[in-house]
A and B are shown apart, each in its own frame.
Chain A
């Protein structure tokens, strides 16, 4: 069994050299950048909007206790059943329990990364339920049996040709080269599912403490149908999604759409405040909201990195990250990839097993600069590195630096080391990058400049 760090290296090396992948990603992000910049410039003051959103999220997260209680009280007052889950396992059990209790067979899901985080689909499929993803991109990756490539653009690593082949194989459709026809094939298949599904599962982008509502942002209308047709609706909500006021959405909806997809606002932004009410003609009879902790309170306890909980999952930091662009989304091997994934995954899944994601950064700071809620991403990556070493010191490295320090402080030893270096360096070339090389992980891809024939001190003496 290869550990996650080695798997990351293997996949990164393979994907970085894949020119087809590179072409697809560059084109997709190129289009994204053009659209995003156009919509950013429509803001009267983008930077101030970022600062305002950071302050609102700061308020929300730093008073999470008050806001969460208000949210829950308001939800319950309108007939919504609220469940609390400390762990992924508990959340899965709660949702499976609801499905079982309803004697349900089929489940339709709208896009939710939180459900990916708790591996809900696998659990439901193992329990024998028919689960269908309704977002087009998610539907495509579900048919391919793979996780979403990107938190906002799940199928961006595929061409229309790949998707046409997939649909021919899995759905028996005719081959086509048109994205529109492909979308219509999925539309026809999923229509039937909406009408027959017993349970609709959604995520949420925001939860409004003031009014007890959740807000779902989407473009396709699949979440609206998921929340309209089935008799039972289940919403999985990370506790950090809170916003204090309804009016905050006037800022966050355009901010999320601009940073996430280069749109002023997405097509559907829908607030849900309860199950079907007595004067309404449709909607689910029951609505269950499952509040998920799953290590979020541990991140909350780290005051230094608490602002990572401000994340609105727009994916903007992934889109600008040079590492993401080179290694691709699947290489990260985790639900949340890119810079935000590098920051939060070590908190959610263990620092020592996932610290390599915090190393996978050029520290260029593009992520911090683009983040619409001003999370200090690249500094948090550094803090994770520091914490990882503090927790589990790298003994060989520490010894090497101790020795270097010792030699560098003694002129006689330093002189000797320089002389020896000139003799040893050519020998090092023989073993460079091989298993015999003690510094192979460094020298494999790098050349040490040759030690000068004469040192500066010697040169000075000769020329005086």
Chain B
């Protein structure tokens, strides 16, 4: 018998005796079978995110401020390019990395800096030398101030985490209410053919491992900028 059969056999045997339902340790209720809950069952218990678009934008802005995410809500692609240029100047970027994408392509062209494009493969040592990774994202989440990046549509696994500054270019319509909707978006977008990595990123990399004191930029980016129009 294979180890798989051994383990599965022990599981079958163990589950012959039903366990008490949570919150009712005094009595046993036989389970109805696999099914579970849907997100709408617990959504009303979770932290709020605002109902209207304006409320959700405010929520997102407040979460970003708490998390020390550098958020720029602008009104046009031109303004977004300008903001990106200003950040590049202020941070004295010499070299940036990005991937192919409708938002990234136009923004990068005007930056006038050497660019490493990760879309068709790259040398990891060169990526390590870049001052910033500029990516798109799949969703912005009002409830938590998060962005969702994937290995397929955000330039791979490393681009959004290896360079010391991660810049996300996004559109306002990408802002969703909460984590449930964000995950649903990803689910609907990719169906069964999902990317090998999907990451919910909430603020710049951080640690509290030394005396529970917050330090930004533990291993991932020290700075996270979101430019959204």
CA distance A279 to B23 in the complex (A): 47
| B215 in contact (CB, < 8 A) | yes
B215 touches A283 (CB 8 A): no
Using A191-B128, A250-B43, A271-B198 as known contacts, say yes or no to A303 and B18 having CB atoms under 8 A apart.
Answer: yes
> By CB atoms of chain A within 10 A, which of B23, B33, B35, B121 has the most?
B23
A49 touches B196 (CB 8 A): no
CA distance A63 to B20 in the complex (A): 14
B220 touches A273 (CB 8 A): no
Interface hit among A50-58, A113-121, A390-398: A50-58
Q: List 15 A-B contacts (CB under 8 A).
A: A42-B48, A44-B45, A45-B44, A84-B4, A182-B210, A183-B209, A183-B217, A183-B218, A220-B220, A228-B157, A248-B39, A250-B179, A251-B46, A282-B121, A282-B122
| A154 in contact (CB, < 8 A) | yes
Q: Write the residues of chain A forming the contact surface with B, with a CB cutoff of 8 angstroms.
A: 24, 27-28, 31-32, 42-46, 48-49, 51-69, 78, 84-86, 90, 134-137, 140, 153-156, 158-160, 163, 179-180, 182-184, 186-187, 190-191, 195, 211, 213, 219-222, 224-225, 227-229, 239, 244-251, 253-254, 261, 264-277, 279-283, 291, 293, 297-298, 300-301, 303-304, 306-307, 310, 373-374, 376, 379
B183 touches A250 (CB 8 A): yes
CA distance A268 to B6 in the complex (A): 35
**CB closest residue in chain A, given B157:** A228
| B19 in contact (CB, < 8 A) | yes
| B112 in contact (CB, < 8 A) | no
A281 touches B17 (CB 8 A): no
Using A86-B3, A86-B6, A280-B152 as known contacts, say yes or no to A134 and B11 having CB atoms under 8 A apart.
Answer: no
**CB closest residue in chain A, given B127:** A282
> By CB atoms of chain B within 10 A, which of A180, A211, A268 has the most?
A268
B201 touches A268 (CB 8 A): yes
A46 touches B11 (CB 8 A): no
Using A59-B31, A280-B196 as known contacts, say yes or no to A49 and B206 having CB atoms under 8 A apart.
Answer: no
**CB closest residue in chain B, given A137:** B209
Q: Write the residues of chain B forming the contact surface with A, with a CB cutoff of 8 angstroms.
A: 2-4, 6-8, 10-15, 17-23, 25, 28, 31, 33-39, 41-48, 63, 99, 118-122, 124-125, 128, 144, 146, 151-152, 155-158, 161-162, 178-180, 182-184, 187, 194-213, 215, 217-221
What is the count of residue pairs linking A and B with beta-carbon distances less than 8 angstroms? 320
Residue among B4, B157, B179, B206 making CB contact with A220, cutoff 8 Å: B206
Find chain A residues with CB under 8 A from B183 CB: 246-247, 249-250
Using A221-B221, A254-B144, A281-B120 as known contacts, say yes or no to A52 and B45 having CB atoms under 8 A apart.
Answer: yes
CA distance A276 to B211 in the complex (A): 37
Of all A-B residue pairs in the complex, the 7 with the closest CB atoms, nearest first, are A221-B220, A54-B22, A220-B218, A228-B157, A137-B209, A301-B14, A297-B10
B14 touches A160 (CB 8 A): no
Find chain A residues with CB under 8 A from B184 CB: 247
A45 touches B45 (CB 8 A): yes
Find chain A residues with CB under 8 A from B18 CB: 62, 303
A151 to chain B, nearest CB (A): 13
Residue among B14, B34, B128 making CB contact with A297, cutoff 8 Å: B14
Using A44-B48, A283-B156 as known contacts, say yes or no to A62 and B19 having CB atoms under 8 A apart.
Answer: yes
Find chain B residues with CB under 8 A from A268 CB: 161, 199-202, 205, 220
A209 to chain B, nearest CB (A): 9
B45 touches A59 (CB 8 A): no
CA distance A377 to B94 in the complex (A): 55
Find chain B residues with CB under 8 A from A64 CB: 11, 15
**CB closest residue in chain A, given B182:** A250
Find chain B residues with CB under 8 A from A266 CB: 202
Find chain A residues with CB under 8 A from B201 CB: 267-268
B45 touches A46 (CB 8 A): yes
Find chain A residues with CB under 8 A from B218 CB: 136, 183, 186-187, 219-222
A59 touches B200 (CB 8 A): no
B215 touches A180 (CB 8 A): yes
B37 touches A187 (CB 8 A): no
CA distance A379 to B213 in the complex (A): 35
A225 touches B3 (CB 8 A): no
Using A44-B48, A66-B34, A190-B219 as known contacts, say yes or no to A49 and B42 having CB atoms under 8 A apart.
Answer: yes
Find chain B residues with CB under 8 A from A271 CB: 197-199
Find chain A residues with CB under 8 A from B17 CB: 301, 303
A54 touches B158 (CB 8 A): no
Residue among B39, B121, B198 making CB contact with A273, cutoff 8 Å: B198
Find chain B residues with CB under 8 A from A219 CB: 205-208, 218
Assuming A52-B42, A137-B207, what are 17 further A-B pairs, CB within 8 angstroms?
A: A48-B45, A58-B22, A59-B37, A65-B12, A84-B3, A136-B218, A187-B219, A220-B220, A250-B42, A269-B202, A274-B196, A276-B151, A281-B118, A293-B7, A300-B14, A306-B19, A374-B22
